[in-house]
């Protein structure tokens, strides 16, 4: 079971903030520690302030239900706040699987696989986890909700120590594959599009007709084309920026509701039916 007392978390944050951080890192830390969503996440025992983005998305778009068990996939899970939200807002019999390049501390009631979503082998492991043997059968589309918050800064403070980033998967170091924000707007945008496309491929393979998807994107010129791809797969697609998403950040979320019944090939998803 995962346990982090709010005192410990607050203490680590305050200790970080009191070190001699100068310039932009000092300003970032002090803003982070004083931020209303950070404070709330400590009180409510969420692993990060990101929890409140998903809570607001769920309030508006009703991704989760307590009425029936759901199968939920959390891409880019670390440290695990979105999975905690899914756990709290769904039926106790729901199955939640998180995937991340980084290792995490276990989150109660959530399964975890450390891997890169851009690798086909990761998709195969996700399929096996949900008991899918043949993706060509419509009955193998078993997942109710796919959510992706992939991208973001490597966090080296209270949530996981930096050594975790260096834990090996096979012989490769995950840091070498981490799609981290560079500050180069175009590169960051294209990296974000790659991760959204990988999320769409997961939806194509595993999401039930009628299922929902939420996906983080960093604004940029390819966003219109990405939205069109989403519209091929889903009945409705909305752009949404939750209050907990910082105004100066280029991120927003695409909330895609009700996967269409007609099956598409990967080519049809990416270039249309011609």
Ligand X SMILES: C[S@@+](CC[C@H](N)C(=O)[O-])C[C@H]1O[C@@H](n2cnc3c(N)ncnc32)[C@H](O)[C@@H]1O
Which sequence positions are flagged as catalytic? 216
Least separation in angstroms between CB 54 and ligand X: 7
Please state, in angstroms and rounded to a whole number, the distance separating the CA atoms of residues 270 and 77. 26
Listed in order, strand segments (DSSP E) in 24-142 are 71-75, 95-100, 111-114
Q: Residue 215 is encoded by which pair of tokens?
A: 């996906």
Closest approach, Cβ 79 to ligand X, in A, equals 5
- Length of the chain, please? 274
Cα-Cα-Cα-Cα dihedral of 212, 216, 221, 222, to 10°?
-50
70 or 114, CB closer to ligand X?
Answer: 114
Give 47 or 145: the residue with its C-beta nearer to ligand X. 47
DSSP for 16-68 reads HHHS---HHHHHHHHHHHH-HHHHHHHHTT-SSTTHHHHHHHHHHH----SSS
Residue owning tokens 């508006």 = 60
Measured CA to CA, the distance from residue 142 to residue 74 in angstroms comes to: 15
For residue 205, the tally of other CB atoms under 10 A from its CB is 18
* Beta-bridge partner residues of 236: 257
CB of 235 vs ligand X, minimal distance in Å: 25
Of 23 and 170, nearer to ligand X (C-beta) is 170
Between 70 and 174, name the residue whose CB sits nearer to ligand X: 174
Taking the complex as a whole, how short is the minimal distance between the CB of residue 209 and ligand X, in angstroms? 26
Positions touching ligand X (CB under 6 A) are 47-48, 50, 76-82, 99-102, 116-118, 149-152, 178-179, 195
Look up tokens 């973001």; give the residue: 152
Shortest Å, Cβ 55 to ligand X: 11
The tokens 């697609």 sit on which residue?
Answer: 237
């Amino acid at each position: 079971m995962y346990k982090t007392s709010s005192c410990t978390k607050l203490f680590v944050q305050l200790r970080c903030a009191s070190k001699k951080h100068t310039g932009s890192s000092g300003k970032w830390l002090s803003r982070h520690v004083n931020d209303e969503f950070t404070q709330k996440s400590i009180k409510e025992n969420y692993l990060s302030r990101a929890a409140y983005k998903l809570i607001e998305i769920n309030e508006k778009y009703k991704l989760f239900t307590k009425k029936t068990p759901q199968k939920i996939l959390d891409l880019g899970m670390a440290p695990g706040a979105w999975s905690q939200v899914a756990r709290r807002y769904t039926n106790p019999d729901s199955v939640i699987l998180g995937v991340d390049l980084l290792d995490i501390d276990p989150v109660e009631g959530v399964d975890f696989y450390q891997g890169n979503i851009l690798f086909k082998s990761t998709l195969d492991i996700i399929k096996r986890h949900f008991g899918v043997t043949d993706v060509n059968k419509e009955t193998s589309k078993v997942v109710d909700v796919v959510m992706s918050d992939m991208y973001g800064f490597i966090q080296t403070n209270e949530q996981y120590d930096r050594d975790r980033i260096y834990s090996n998967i096979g012989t490769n170091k995950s840091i070498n594959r981490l799609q981290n924000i560079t500050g180069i707007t175009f590169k960051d945008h294209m990296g974000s599009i790659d991760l959204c496309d990988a999320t769409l491929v997961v939806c194509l393979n595993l999401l039930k007709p009628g299922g929902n998807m939420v996906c983080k994107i960093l604004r940029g010129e390819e966003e219109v084309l990405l939205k069109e791809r989403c519209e091929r797969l889903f009945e409705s697609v909305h752009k949404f920026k939750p209050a907990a998403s910082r105004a100066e950040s280029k991120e927003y979320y695409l909330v895609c509701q009700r996967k269409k019944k007609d099956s598409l090939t990967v080519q049809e998803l990416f270039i249309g039916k011609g």
